[in-house]
């Protein structure tokens, strides 16, 4: 981060000295695109630019200033890549630093997806923490850890109620499992602690008291840390309805949840399921609807996708290939429609599905979905023009 800040400071000073900093700012990939970082572009930062500085980088502002800009970037240990007419990405020259920035971007994106209904859309969140292990859980904020556990237990089939985060009497999460005798309630207390900070006996006793008072059938104390022997002995001998889980136990549950979500997701993409969703699609529900996005930098192109699963704030989209309805004879301009033929739907691939955030769901508004750096809206059913001539 220090190298990135040094680069930003140097370029900002130079630009202001040359009066070309107007309408420019530095940002991150996540802040700018609100989409997963591109593995092939581990950007340390992005520069959004317009006006004079954009003209310089386009080669229309004089070779001297462009050379000065490039020298500053190179001296700081970076190289640049133009993303489009108004965005520049800076990448570290040495591989180790570049990898570190890529990992930081991946962490930032994954953290932003920790919400009650996002992990159930895509097992990559569970896979990410399964790969990092306990050290990844420790990096979460206490509240993010609670939200992650909420998603984790939903992934294991529980109906959950996430606590407010404050004034919750020590109960962060309520789990409901269905049995013949009715729903079984388990109260969960979560503590995101460093390994050196062990859970004491009095904390486990306090949870036991709340469980017995509710009354609930079970209690679950989950921590990224460890339990003192006295706390473990108390739970084993005096309170067998209280279970203690450490960070290693959470990672084991994470691995199982990732596999389960991946298996369920693969079923969503089966041909019979896709065709059933399309037939049942209604305007008030996202599932089965086809979405469209305009794409291209200097050209006009189209992307289509079908929603295979949706929730309150997210949607799981599967790309649909474009079918040329009419063109100019050379394939450079014409009209696209989504290809929903039998062969196209049977070739949909599970790995290509992506999570999109629902940008608006107000009553009466057509939903907008933001995913893979594109803004999708419900396809109107009409052919969409394209022009690949730059």
Domain spans, the chain: 2-104, 114-254, 272-387
Q: What CATH number has the domain spanning 2-104?
A: 3.30.1240
Q: Can you say whether residue 287 is alpha, beta or left, with left for phi > 0 and alpha for psi between -120 and 50 degrees?
A: beta
CA dihedral 299, 304, 309, 315 (to 10 degrees): 20
Give the pLDDT of residue 47.
95
Check: CB of residue 288 under 8 Å from CB of residue 278.
yes
How many angstroms separate the Cα of 87 from the Cα of each of 90, 116, 360, 362, 382?
Answer: 10, 33, 26, 31, 32
Give me the pLDDT at residue 364, please. Answer: 57
| Residues paired with 92 in a beta bridge | 78
Per-residue tokens: 203:
């904390």
How many residues does this entry show for the chain?
390
What is the pLDDT at residue 123?
67
CB 37 within 8 A of CB 109: yes
DSSP state of 89: E
pLDDT tens, the chain, 390 aa long: 788 999 999 999 999 999 999 889 999 988 888 777 887 889 999 999 988 898 888 888 778 999 999 999 999 999 999 888 889 999 999 888 898 888 888 777 776 666 656 665 666 778 888 888 999 899 888 998 998 898 888 878 888 898 887 776 779 999 998 776 678 899 999 999 998 999 999 999 999 999 999 889 999 999 999 999 999 999 999 999 999 999 999 999 999 888 887 777 777 788 888 888 888 777 667 888 999 999 887 789 999 999 988 877 788 899 999 999 988 888 899 999 999 999 888 888 877 888 888 876 555 567 889 888 889 999 999 999 999 886
Q: Which letter does DSSP use for residue 367 in this model?
A: P
* Separation of CA 202 from chain center: 37
Say what the pLDDT of residue 36 is: 76
User: For residue 128, what are the CA distances in angstroms to 95, 108, 132, 144, 250?
Assistant: 22, 12, 6, 15, 13
69 touches 58 (CB < 8 A): no
Q: What CATH architecture is 114-254? A: 3-Layer(aba) Sandwich (3.40)
Q: How far is CA 170 from CA 149, 187, 333, in A?
A: 15, 9, 62
d(CA 38, CA 32): 13
To the nearest 10°, the Cα dihedral for 68, 71, 76, 80? Answer: 90
**Which residues lie closer than 8 Å to 197 by C-beta, 6 or more apart?**
225
215 prior amide bond cis, ω within 30: yes
List, in sequence order, every beta strand (DSSP E) within 158-288: 159-162, 173-179, 182-191, 218-223, 242-245
């Amino acid at each position: 981060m220090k190298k990135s800040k040094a680069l930003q400071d140097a370029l900002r000073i130079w630009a202001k000295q040359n009066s070309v900093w107007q309408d420019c700012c530095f940002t991150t990939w996540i802040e700018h695109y609100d989409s997963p970082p591109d593995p092939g572009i581990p950007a340390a930062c992005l520069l959004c630019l317009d006006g004079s500085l954009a003209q310089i980088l386009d080669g229309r502002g004089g070779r001297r200033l462009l050379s000065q800009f490039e020298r500053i970037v190179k001296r700081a240990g970076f190289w640049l890549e133009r993303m489009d007419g108004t965005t520049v990405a800076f990448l570290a020259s040495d591989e180790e630093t570049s990898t570190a920035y890529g990992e930081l971007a991946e962490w930032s994106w994954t953290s932003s997806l920790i919400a009650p209904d996002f992990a159930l859309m895509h097992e990559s969140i569970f896979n990410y923490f399964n790969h990092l292990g306990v050290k990844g859980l420790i990096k979460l904020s206490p509240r993010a850890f609670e939200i992650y556990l909420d998603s984790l237990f939903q992934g294991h089939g529980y109906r959950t109620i996430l606590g407010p985060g404050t004034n919750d009497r020590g109960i962060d999460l309520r789990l409901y499992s269905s049995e013949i005798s009715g729903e079984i309630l388990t109260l969960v207390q979560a503590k995101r602690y460093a390994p050196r900070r062990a859970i004491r006996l009095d904390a486990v006793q306090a949870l036991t008291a709340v469980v017995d008072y509710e009354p609930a059938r079970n209690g679950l104390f989950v921590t990224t840390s460890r339990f003192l022997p006295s706390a473990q002995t108390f739970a084993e001998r005096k309170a067998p309805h209280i279970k203690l889980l450490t960070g290693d136990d959470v990672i084991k549950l994470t691995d199982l949840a990732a596999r389960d979500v991946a298996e369920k997701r693969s079923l969503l993409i089966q041909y019979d399921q896709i065709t059933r969703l399309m037939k049942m699609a209604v305007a008030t529900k996202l599932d089965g609807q086809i979405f469209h996005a305009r794409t291209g930098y200097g050209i006009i192109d189209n992307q289509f996708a079908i929603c295979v699963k949706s929730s309150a704030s997210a949607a799981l989209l599967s790309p649909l290939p474009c079918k040329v309805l009419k063109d100019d004879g050379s394939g450079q301009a014409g009209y696209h429609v989504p290809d929903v033929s039998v062969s196209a739907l049977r070739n949909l691939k599970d790995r290509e599905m992506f999570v999109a955030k629902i940008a608006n769901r107000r009553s009466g508004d057509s939903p907008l979905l933001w995913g893979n750096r594109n803004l999708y809206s419900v396809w109107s059913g009409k052919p969409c023009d394209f022009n690949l001539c730059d």
